[in-house]
A and B are shown apart, each in its own frame.
Chain A
Amino acid sequence: MNSTTMMGCAAAAFMALLGAFQPFAVAAHEVQRAPTGVAAATPRTILWRDPQPVIAARYEVQVLPAKGSAKATRTHTWYFFRDAQRVAVIKGDIEEAWHRDAQDRVRFERTFHDEQRVVEYSTGELATLGVATDWQPIATFIDARELALLKPMAARGSDLCAAPVLVGKVGAATLRVQWMPDLQLPALAERREADGSRVRLVLKQSASRAPAEWPQPGVRGADYLRIDAADFGDMAQDTTVRKAEAMDASIGWRSSQHRH
């Protein structure tokens, strides 16, 4: 397999692992910079397929502390749902959903089940926060910035593009990804921090339609109070707002760390 083919397959295996595996943590980039390195050499059409297949997936997410740490390993179940107009993930008591309309305008919602609130981020608010709303990265866990930092290690299976594995360093962390081109999702993704702690995302189940026993996005929170992210400044003491602001900050929104 020549390097170009590998890169083509590898390009499809790129993913965004921002922070502690927050797949919807689309970072606040002031400028969507052109990818460099491997990504620049790889046509975008190879990396992403358009449209992405409609899919529901169940992931096991493990947060593994560094050796010698007193913290215990934590395991969570995430449910991922994707269609042409919506990408949603249910992470326990938090739901996140990206919505896209016919004009490609994107908005975001975060549901807090404990507080029974839904926080809405309008198209304009996302732009003000500098949040990148390119749909393909949102729908495939892919962050173009990190594409150039990963290299293909090996191809599994007889089809060289069946499930390529990519490894590389992003900052001080090491990423390892096994990509499923047909699903346009990772089968496995692991991030190892410099201190040895790890976060692993493992695909456990996928289907074109979610099984009946799975929770459905937007259902439990249908009657919750809805608040606008643009109003956070007037609601500083609100529990939900403080939670949402902290989450925003952890993924680079509302951040001074924009590039200029």
Chain B
Amino acid sequence: MHLQILRRSAATAAALIAGVATAQQPPVVQGPESVNDWFKAGQQFIHDSKSVREFNRPAKNVILFVGDGMGVSTVTAARILEGQLAGKPGEENRLSFENFRDFPYLALSKTYSWDQQTSDSAPTMTAMSTGYKTREGMLSVNHTTARGECNAAVIDANSVKTVLEYAAAMGKSTGIVSTARITHATPAALYAHTAVRDWEADANLPLTDVNTGAPCRGSSTAVKDIARQLIELSPTVRSSLKVALGGGRTYFLPNTVTDPEYPTQKGRRADGRNLAAEWVGTRGTMGAAAYAWNKAQFDAFEPAYGSYLLGLFEPSHVQFEADRARDPAGEPSLTEMTDKALRMLTKDHHGFFLHVEAGRIDHAHHGGNAKRALLETVEFSKTIRRTLEILKATGQLDDTLIIVTADHSHTFTIAGYPSRGNNILGLVREVPERDGAPLANASDANGLPYTTLGYINGPGYRSGARPNLTSVDTTDLNFLQEAAVPTGSETHAGEDVPIYARGPKAHLVGGSMEQNWIFHVMMEALRNGGHHRGRDRD
């Protein structure tokens, strides 16, 4: 009897030891949070929400940040990448504009245009800039405008005023910063009015109007090209627009002049005008004016003393942030350009309107190249963080309405069931079924691994069978994520994009919004915004 008891006890003890040994295998994938962290964070959110102050008063300043092509999947992936670059799992990270305390208001923006289910950057930025939706390819003209309309009088009649023009009329300083050409659709929608976004220089206009056959290029009745519109602004806007920084100097230089940075290239203007020089000439009568085409000149411009700055740092778009360091002449980053612009504009005690565009998220997505797109987005986040710092330091943070949004999305996807902290640029590795089991690549129906990130269409399409990516470095800067449909360039996508807002009247951002309502929120903040000089004169 005693022996049987001993045997049963030994068997029970052995079973207990075995059970304990199994339960003690830790999960291979572990988030950094404790059990209580989740609950505490939720409670903190409630506390923060209750503490949100509604600034139901006019704004002295308005800043519109646009991440071109920065849809929700781009924001999500970029936040993870930023977190992982800092050595964290990444999912818990927040880009600067995702911090609830800083940007408590959120909405979705419907980006369709008058004639497009999925829009391009021209009508989308027109919507944000003017409060009107318009047609494909058009900048700040209404949707009754004919495609290819060249007649300046018709364009003038159909023009819709932009938030920048309104701010100028209110006596505020204004500025534009972009990593795209400064004559490209998004920045151009703020100061130019044209039926064709491609008419960035005079040489781009057709010889005749496609509708009427009337003379176009070079004709006195033709609409001005976009670069020329930037230089020949109305007196009020010309006086207001203190700073314009980006790329695209080829459209400001005549085709008889070689580019200062790339001497094998020439300008593209056919009219012989050097608009960069004209900026200095025309603005110099109103204050110290300068034109910069490289980093040294940019750094030399001192906002405390200079009044007008035009910066054009590449013949076309500026370099991707991932590649900027190799530019021999040096280029300022989006953050550096915005920093300089803010230091110029915050001098104006009447207030300012500033537009900042991360213009090349879109280009990288078109190229099917997720890493470049996400690094552009991380830089965009850094720019916004820096902006908050500067405004806080100058005591203007609470007087500034800041809106962060996108013009449209891309066909960029985050797929599979990758485990927490899985390299966002890597292959999908799922949480193992058993704790303690190692991670392994997930596989498709044919047993091949696949990446978390992908595109619906674009140059990443692989003809024939899917590739075996097991030994491929999918985190390489130049890796093109797989696409389901072969197209030369990846396309835009039509789903809604996010709007983040803070500051005076930011509480008006909410719910499902038409994209053009963003303009109306900005105008509500600017109207009777105090600190402005004079009456509207435009």
Contacts and interface: CB of A to CB of B under 8 A. Distances in A.
A226 B268 contact: yes
Contacts of A123: 262
B195 interface: no
B478 interface: yes
A99 B264 contact: yes
A256 B363 contact: no
A128 B320 contact: yes
A127 B314 CA distance: 15
B480 A256 contact: yes
B47 to A, nearest CB: 44
B160 to A, nearest CB: 22
A225 B490 contact: no
B263 A122 contact: no
Given A226-B268, A228-B316, A233 B478 contact: no
Interface size class of A (residues with CB under 8 A): 35 or more
B327 interface: yes
B478 A255 contact: no
Given A100-B264, A103-B328, A249 B462 contact: no
Contacts of B480: 255-256, 258
A107 B474 contact: no
Contacts of A49: none
B473 interface: yes
B488 A246 contact: yes
Nearest to A98: B264
B327 A230 contact: no
Contacts of A156: none
A121 B84 CA distance: 33
A50 interface: no
A255 B268 CA distance: 30
Nearest to A227: B198
A196 interface: no
Given A101-B262, A254-B459, A260-B472, A225 B203 contact: yes
A100 B265 CA distance: 10
Q: Which of B480, B487, B488 has the most CB of A within 10 A?
A: B488
A230 B316 contact: yes
A193 interface: no
A87 to B, nearest CB: 12
A256 B488 contact: no
Contacts of A102: 263
A233 B482 contact: no
Contacts of A228: 316-317
Interface string B109-144: 000000000001100000000000000000000000
A123 B480 CA distance: 20
A164 interface: no
A256 B462 contact: yes
A247 to B, nearest CB: 10
A232 B203 contact: no
Contacts of B367: 128-129, 233, 254
A248 B489 CA distance: 11
Nearest to B270: A223
Interface in B239-271: 262-265, 268, 270
Contacts of B489: 232-233, 236, 245, 254
A223 B268 CA distance: 10
B315 interface: yes
B384 to A, nearest CB: 24
A30 B314 contact: no
A116 to B, nearest CB: 11
Nearest to B480: A256
Contacts of A246: 488
B262 A256 contact: no
Contacts of B315: 122
Most buried by B among A127, A223, A230, A248: A230
Contact of B204 (A85, A100, A127, A225): A225
A208 B260 CA distance: 31
Interface string A92-118: 000000011111010100000000000
B314 A124 contact: yes
Given A233-B366, A245-B489, A258-B479, A107 B264 contact: yes
B332 interface: no
Interface in B393-425: none
B204 A258 contact: no
A128 B268 contact: no
Contact of B459 (A30, A122, A255, A260): A255
Contacts of B121: 234
Interface string A120-162: 1011100111100000000000000000000000000000000
| Nearest 9 A/B pairs, CB to CB | A233-B366, A245-B488, A260-B473, A233-B489, A99-B264, A260-B476, A254-B459, A256-B480, A228-B316
5 contacts: A103-B328, A127-B323, A234-B366, A242-B488, A248-B488
Interface of B: 120-121, 185, 203-204, 262-265, 268, 270, 314-317, 319-320, 323, 326-328, 362-363, 365-369, 372, 459-462, 467, 472-474, 476, 478-480, 482, 487-491
Given A230-B317, A242-B488, A256-B461, 16 more contacts: A99-B265, A100-B264, A105-B328, A122-B262, A122-B315, A124-B319, A128-B320, A128-B323, A128-B372, A228-B317, A233-B367, A245-B489, A246-B488, A249-B488, A260-B473, A260-B476
